[in-house]
Structure formats: C-alpha cells, structure tokens
Structure 1
C-alpha cells in the first residue's frame, strides 16, 4: 500500500473525480478508483463530454449512435472497477446534479483535437459552438460547483494544467475543477500530466517514455496497485469503440501503443 493510501484513505469517505471523456477515468485513474471503491470510499466520477469527436475503432458506431454507445461503455467500465465494493456513481457535467439548479440540461460536446507531436494533442482546427471549450467556462464551473455542493466530497481529483496529454477538453476540465474546488473550499489533488503544459514536447519518443519522463519532473504521491491489473484490463475492454486491448497492452485507434497503467502520480493542488 502506498503512502497516499496509507495516509489519506482512512480520512476519505467521499471523492469526486473529474475527467474529460469516457475512458479517461480508466486510462488515467482506473486502479485508484477500484481501490477506493473496494475500501468503502463513495466515489463520484464526473465526465465532461460524451466523447463524440474521439477516434473510433473501425466498424463501430458513429454520430448519435456513438454517443449512446460510449455512455454504455462508461457504465460498464465503472461497474467493473466497482467490483464488490461501493458502486462508483457517475454523472455527465451539465446533467443533474452536475447542473445549476433551475437550468435545463446542458450537453457539453467533445471539442475534438489534433496531434501536434507524437503523444501530444492540441486544439482541433474547428470546434462546435456547443463544444466544451466553446461553452462559457463560468457556466461549466458553476455546474461542477452544484455537484460538489450535493456530494460534499472530502477531496476533488482532476488533471493538472498539462491536461494529461494536452487535449483541449482535458485542459478545460483542469480549469473548471481548479475553479470549482476553490469556490467550494475543498481539497484538490491533481493527476500529474504526461506532458508539461509549458512545452508539451514529446519529440519522437515512445508514448510511455514521454509520459514517464514528464511525470518524473513533479513530486507527489505515486500510487501503484499492480494487483488491480486484471480489473483495470477488464474495464478497458468495455471500450470497444475507442481502443483494443491486445497482448496485455492498449492499442489506440491511431496505432499508439500504451501500457495498461495501475499507477497514478497525485500532487496536492495549491
């Protein structure tokens, strides 16, 4: 058991974890979510978009059918991560209770992205006016504040300023999580990014090498739970439209190969 789990888990009864798209919660924090659920922590995962513009495994659904399929995928993945522990709750940002009271539901759409370097994403050439990054940031922040007021978590977990690998929706998720936690006066932990926000330069390194090098530059609590590898693997296999698990590794639609992670580096936000 790691230092973070030894020191912090007895004090954490409720946690809110904010991610940008379906599958991010398993890719970036699956083992942590599973460990918390099995330790009796009430976890609520907030997903900011439905991944409408994400890359798609050939032969799977597109458009509105893709959105519906990805909703089903995240539900299945969270059920796997929950196991016999406390069921992990889930809500999309803009849907009650993650919506300002009195406002109708809001569907924050995937903003899209483009690869600017191997393993490093940047903004798409165009973003829909209903996309997460085009929506007023204050509105999205207020929706998350409403959820925090409802759940009253002991800790809020989200990305750091690098947005994991630079995806604009990840960066916006960081911004609203930071602002909402400050407004609510709640403790926040950041998932250390794969790339630094100031340079976001991975060169031509292998994706996992770039991620390890970037993460090593920030101190924090390194949580590694290798015993949960089968659970995380099974959860990833729920994402049929987004990735393929082959020979114990993740193969993304673009051909990028990624290790299945059972670790996460967390730092306390200032």
Structure 2
C-alpha cells in the first residue's frame, strides 16, 4: 500500500520492449506499490526480435516486418499491468512516428547496417533527445544497463552510452543514476533453484549448469550498492512479462526467451549507483549495500 513518504519519480531507460520487465520489472512494481511515479523510456521497438508463437512469425523482420508496432502494444499492456507510464525515444504520435531508432539486432547481423539502427546512432543526437526528455520529466532516479549492456547486445550498450551522455549534459541537475547488475552469489543460487524447479516444456528448456559462463552483468558480490527484494511481487512481474508473448514464455517462477534457456524470476534485483557525469561507481566496492533506490535520500 502507498505510504506517507514524499512521492518520487523514477525513470528506467531500456533498449527494447520486454527488457524493462525482464530486468527491472520487480523494482518498478515495488515503487508503484509504494505510491511513487514510475516511467519507462524505450529506445527502439524491438523490430528484430525473434518471434516465439508460430502464428505470429509472419510479423518478423525477414517477412512482413510488422513486429515493431506489435511489440509496442505488448509494451502498453505490460506497463498497464505494472501501473507504469511509458514512452519511446523520439516518438511523435501526431505525425505517425512510433520510434526514432530501429532495433539493431544482435552483434554481427546485417540489421546493424540499417540507417536507423540504434547501435549506429549519432551519440550526441540521441543523447540530446534523451536529455530533453529528462529535463521535461525531472526524475529523481534514472536506471539503465551497465557498460556491457547486461549481456553485450549492441542496443543495450548504446542505451548505456546515450543515457550517461544525456545525464552528463544535465550537470549538477542530473538525478541519481544506477546501473543494473547481478551479484555472483545470486546467479549461483538462481541456477541451483532452476535445477530443482524447471519442469517439462515444449520445446524443452535448458537449465544452465553450475560451470557454464555468466553474462558480464554478473559481478562480484561486493559491487552492487543497492538492492530491491520483493518476492511477493513476482506474480505482478510475471503477469506483465506474459504480455510480451512474442518474446517470452512464462512459467511458475521462471521464464525463457527464444533461446529456450530457463531464467528465474527471483524476487530481487540489484544495482550499482554511478556518478551521472562519469559512469563510475559512487561507492567503493565492499561498502554496505543499501535497500532500495531511494536510499541516497532516505528510502521509504
């Protein structure tokens, strides 16, 4: 239930529809539940995404190329589930422009050569659009990926670069900034949990073994500076995630993307606070971990 603490505004900057719910859905649900004002800004419409349901594969980029508007509607429904306000970078509904930039696809794919591909966008221009958005919205907190983009996707890396460039343009007026990370201990625990909970599926799911590598956003346990733990809100996150049906299959406590690799909905998300002008961590590694993203001004 909402409390009597001051109402704050949080902005989550993501690359494609579904990224917001996959990586920060729990945190967004937590702050909506606490009565705060939560926004998502998406940088592309995810036009190059792989479509899971067979009956919708005609939408894909290599066929009808109508996936972007479809995913925009999935995003609308998902954010309605969470109670989050959402926008797309450079959109202009009055002139029919749904997004200024296009999904670049995975590294090394031909789609990266598209003239509107976000990964190749002029940094100053894209950051200028975002800086203007920040000045209008005036958030207290901005959250995005780390410098690796979570798992190395070119659009995620570009989202990090554009966000930090826009924040630096605000100078002393920049809000508190956070990057999304996962402590190593959590990643290990999640794989152990998956090994005991993932059931039969069609197609079958792969459960990563303990010795398999982790994405670069999995960091030493002393790196994250702030955490949100709200396992009671996993059903809310799962319901929002299920709206992204072209990209995700949702199960009881876990999900899988088109790669059919099981991933846990763990009820916790971690972040590292960074200097909005430099992108460097604010606190030294090993400092006490704070609860919530408003801990810099007293979490409520």
| Coarse TM-score class (shorter-chain normalised) | 0.7 to 0.9
CA contact (8 A) 1:45 1:89 kept: yes
Q: Structure 1 residue aligned with 2:91, among 95, 107, 114?
A: 95
Find the residue that maps to 2:155 and give its secondary structure. helix
1:171 aligns with 2:176: no
Question: How many residues matched?
Answer: 236
CA contact (8 A) 1:28 1:261 kept: no
Matches within 5 A, 1:14-163: 14-59=9-54, 60=56, 61-63=59-61, 64-82=65-83, 88-95=84-91, 107-113=100-106, 122-124=107-109, 126-127=111-112, 128-163=114-149
1:268 aligns with 2:247: no
Give TM-score, length-normalised by structure 1.
Answer: 0.79
In structure 1, C-alpha distance between the alignment counterparts of 2:266 and 2:47, rounded to whole Å? 24
Higher RCO (C-alpha under 8 Å, 6+ residues apart): 1
CA contact (8 A) 1:12 1:154 kept: no
For each residue in 1:11-44, what CA deviation from the matched residue of structure 2 results, as whole angstroms up to 9, or x when unmatched? 6611211000000100000011011112221112
In structure 1, C-alpha distance between the alignment counterparts of 2:218 and 2:103, rounded to whole Å? 28
1:188 corresponds in structure 2 to: 177
Alpha-carbon shift at residue 216 of structure 1 (Å) = 2.9
Gaps of 5+ in 2: 185-207, 276-300
Give TM-score, length-normalised by structure 2.
Answer: 0.71
CA contact (8 A) 1:16 1:46 kept: yes
Find the residue that maps to 1:130 and give its secondary structure. coil
